[in-house]
Amino acid sequence: MAAGKENLGTYTPKMVHAGDYPVVTDSGTVAEGETIVELMPVVLNADGTLKAVTADNVADVYGLAAENAEAGEEVVIYLTGQFFGEAIEVPAGTTAADFKAPFRKLGIFLVDTDNAVAEATE
């Protein structure tokens, strides 16, 4: 390696955005006891905080987390956009296809959900 240079590691980009549909973001605070994972669908609590979606509240999806965040932290969420179904993190007992219709109501469009491999998070 040349003098003055160091290896900073590697970067493997994810194919997340599936088109040029306008992307709108917002932010919110993660609810107590919650951990949000990048590209995980989230729901909005009555108190305005965000929590991870579960198999029981898929229809109430509010957005898609743009980053990882812990309880009490601010997290950026996508409110609109076009994403590959295989890129999103779905809860156990669901697939990306389960989110296609609820996300459409928000202006989030999932493509290639039939080919998405469910790597569910708990």
Question: What CATH number is given to the structural domain containing 68?
Answer: 2.40.300.10
Quick one: CA dihedral 20, 94, 45, 69, positive or negative? negative
17 vs 103, residue with greater confidence: 103
Does a structural domain hold residue 7?
A: no
Helix, strand and coil in the chain, % to nearest 5: 15, 35, 50
Does a structural domain hold residue 100?
A: yes
Give CA separation, 21 vs 18, 27, 98, in Å. Answer: 8, 20, 21
Q: What is the pLDDT of residue 7?
A: 80
Does a structural domain hold residue 65?
A: yes
Total number of domains constituting the chain = 1
Does a structural domain hold residue 38?
A: yes
Does a structural domain hold residue 45?
A: yes
Amino acid present at 17: H
Query: Which two tokens mark 6?
Result: 């160091």
Query: Tens digit of pLDDT for each residue in 43-95?
Result: 999 999 999 999 999 999 999 999 999 999 999 999 999 999 999 999 999 99
What confidence category does residue 110 fall into, taking pLDDT thresholds of 50, 70 and 90?
very high
Does a structural domain hold residue 87?
A: yes
Query: Tens digit of pLDDT for each residue in 17-50?
Result: 777 888 999 999 999 999 999 999 999 999 999 9
In whole angstroms, what is the distance from residue 29 CA to residue 93 CA? 26
Does a structural domain hold residue 97?
A: yes
Q: What is the pLDDT of residue 9?
A: 83
Does a structural domain hold residue 12?
A: no
| 64: containing domain | 24-115
In whole angstroms, what is the distance from residue 87 CA to residue 68 CA? 14
